[in-house]
Amino acid sequence: MTSDDPSIAARLDRYRASFDLTGRTALVLGAASGIGKASAEALAALGADVFCADKNRDGVERTAAEIGVHVKSAAHVVDAGKAEDVAALADAVRKFSARLDIAVTTPAVHIRKPFLDYSDEEYDRIAGLNLRGVFLFLRTFGRIMRDQGHGSLIATSSMRAMTLEPGLAIYGATKAGIIQLVRGLASELGSANVRVNAIVPSIVDTALVAPLKGRPDIFGKLAAHTAFNRWSAPSEVATAVAFLASDASSYVTGSALMVDGGWTAIDGPPTGLTEIARN
């Protein structure tokens, strides 16, 4: 068998095509900034038309306009924690496209505060968006994908689902809950050819952490928890989203894909091998 055997060439073409999203329609909730914006860009780069949604009108319209030069796009303002807003989002998506192949949700909020000092209102704010909001999203767009017989749902968890520090118990609990929502729904929608997965980032260098850059001691200490001794770029998380959105991950469902730079694999900051040898 020679290297130019047609069957080999065809197989190579199939591998390349498995990442192509041309002709697909994607919804990205949280597209105004950070991981959501980068995910919208990544999906558009692979050929998908992208419906952008966010609470931030200016930001989401800017994202849609930027990628709209290359693919079909639209912007929609939504409060991800409100059932009526998510229902209206679904109606808008149906008008945008007759099919929905990919649906990604990224919004979250946290309050760093001791567990015993949390008020009922603060708990409701965190759980209302982070967990209930994801539930509303997965239920709404899971129904659409179940009825059409295909699709990929992607939620955003956090390495705080696995490892915590003081003040993040409530946030971490919601992020752990997202992984269980994903696993449960994946077990129910596999027969409908719908995949459900989560991405699990650690520290991502976005505009939200800009104040930390003024505290290089803290910024660097957090970076040192990763194997690479650096923060991730939003684009590095977005490429994981693109993988889960594409046919390249056709046998992946119910997973929590770690994109954490090794944070959860390391018990404390990495130590150089030369230092280990000396000790």
List residues with catalytic annotation.
171
DSSP run (H or E) holding 276 = helix 273-278
Helix (H, G, I), strand (E, B) or coil at 167: coil
Both structure tokens of 217: 């001691």
Characterize the bridge pairing of strands 102-105 and 151-156: parallel
Q: Which residues pair with 28 in a beta bridge?
A: 52, 104
Query: In Å, how far are 149, 194, 253 from 188, measured between CA atoms?
Result: 13, 9, 11
150 close to 195: Cβ distance less than 8 angstroms: no
Both structure tokens of 10: 């065809």
Cβ burial 36-75 (10 Å sphere, 16+ → b, else e): bbbbbbbbbbbebbbbbbbbbeebbbbbbeebbeebebbb
Both structure tokens of 199: 């991405």
